Amino acid sequence: MVELKHLQKVIGQNTVVEIEALAVSAGEIAAIVGPAGSGETALFDLLLGRTRPTMGTVQVAGIDPAQDKHEFSQRVGVLFAEDSLYKNRPPLANLEFQCQLYGLPKARALEVLRQVGLADHANTSIEKLPPGMARRLAFGRAILHNPKVLLLVEPFTRCDESSIAVLGDLIRQQADHEVTVLILSADNTYLAPLCDAIYSLNQGRIVESRRPQEEGRPELPFKIPVRMEEKVVLFNPADILYAEAEEGRAFIVTAEGRFPTQFTLAELEGRLACSRAPTSTPTASPPPTAAPTRTPELVSAPRFETAPCPFVLPEGYVQGESVDWRGRCSWHSLPTRPSDRVMPASLTWVI
């Protein structure tokens, strides 16, 4: 299990971590969620034994990670934010090398490769693996030695939907075998259906704890974090007008302006898509009769339909009608933008 008691870490004059109590039992999946700057890096260093607490105790798999690093490496599997794979070795050779370090038979490498669904790519160059498959290989390395505890940092980062599903199943399988799983993430996208408990971290403190499985309703997305002038601003997805890509980076546009994010356009679209609650979509009342206008080409917005608008739109704008994730029917004004713009059905542009 993972157990924190009266934990405090002070760096200089700042208390970067202060957690009175937190326990994750065997077979439980828990997540600590907080954006960059919330203290997650300092907490992760304490869990790995890289630093010692100023006060309190950290117990991971029954040991103090700062005092017994060898035993920690035998009992704990870690998935870092970066995959850190050996690029000059194909997937099978990557795991076989780790088997040597752990004193495991080489057959274990192929067994794990099959477990993460990469047996057909055993000898593929690491550089040719899609990011999602590379992430699955990194996860396979974390479970190679059958650890009692898994510490996973951003397990779904850079993953496509297929790899997200595979990793989710693998994490649940580990928990079913009484492995303790603790996830650290900047947001709770994809975590609610998976986790038994989710803890919100802010300035090094647990400010909220939830058990999604007991709530009986789907989890709405964590706000989109945007770093601005040495601070992190959290945007509500409902306030986003649209998102667009520039040089491989996604930008969100709100009524207040245009802001860069840390995500690619595909990653941002996945997070925004999760804001839709799986409820039945109400039927909107028919609008006043008028000549129809053209509808822009949308991505992931099958509910966006051509409909007459009761308002006069400025030149260069098109319009339509859709139902957002809260079940509200709205009129939209849409500026003419580049074709790589993404406007998920979960967003609302109301005039």
Are 260 and 284 in a shared domain? yes
Are 184 and 251 in a shared domain? no
Residue 197, domain extent:
2-215
Question: 87 or 258, which is more confident?
Answer: 87
Are 186 and 162 in a shared domain? yes
Are 63 and 211 in a shared domain? yes
- Residue 320 located in a structural domain: yes
Are 82 and 44 in a shared domain? yes
Are 66 and 178 in a shared domain? yes
Domain count, the chain: 2
Residue 133 φ/ψ, nearest 5 degrees: -70, -40
State the amino acid at position 105 in one-letter form: P
Average pLDDT of 271-297?
49
Dump pLDDT digits (tens) for 132-161: 999 999 999 999 999 999 999 999 999 998
- Report residue 268's pLDDT band, with 50, 70 and 90 as the boundaries: confident
Are 21 and 130 in a shared domain? yes
- Residue 202 located in a structural domain: yes
SS (H, E, C) the chain: CEEEEEEEEEECCEEEEEEEEEEECCCCEEEEECCCCCCHHHHHHHHHCCCCCCEEEEEECCECCCCCHHHHHHHEEEECCCCCCCCCCCHHHHHHHHHHHHCCCCHHHHHHHHHCCCHHHCCCCHHHCCHHHHHHHHHHHHHCCCCCEEEEECCCCCCCHHHHHHHHHHHHHHHHCCCEEEEEECCCCCCCCCCCEEEEEECCEEEEEECHHHHCCCCCCCCEEEEECCEEEEECHHHEEEEEEECCEEEEEECCEEEECCCCHHHHHHHHHCCCCCCCCCCCCCCCCCCCCCCCCCCCCCCCECCCCCCCCCCCEEEEEEECCCCCEEEEEEECCCCCCECCCCCCCCC
Question: Cα separation of 319 and 313, whole Å?
Answer: 8
Are 235 and 185 in a shared domain? no
Are 182 and 264 in a shared domain? no
Average pLDDT, the chain: 80
Average pLDDT of 304-333?
42
Instruction: Out of 194, 215, 236, pick the residue that ends a domain.
Output: 215
Mean pLDDT is highest, among 179-193, 277-291, 318-332, for 179-193
- Residue 281 located in a structural domain: yes
- Report residue 274's pLDDT band, with 50, 70 and 90 as the boundaries: low
8 A C-beta contact, residue 202 and residue 23:
no
pLDDT of 211 > 90? The answer is yes
Instruction: Out of 215, 245, 269, pick the residue that ends a domain.
Output: 215
- Report residue 232's pLDDT band, with 50, 70 and 90 as the boundaries: low
Are 151 and 245 in a shared domain? no
| Res 113: pLDDT | 97
Dump pLDDT digits (tens) for 20-64: 999 999 999 999 999 989 999 999 999 999 999 999 999 999 999
- Residue 109 located in a structural domain: yes
Are 279 and 207 in a shared domain? no
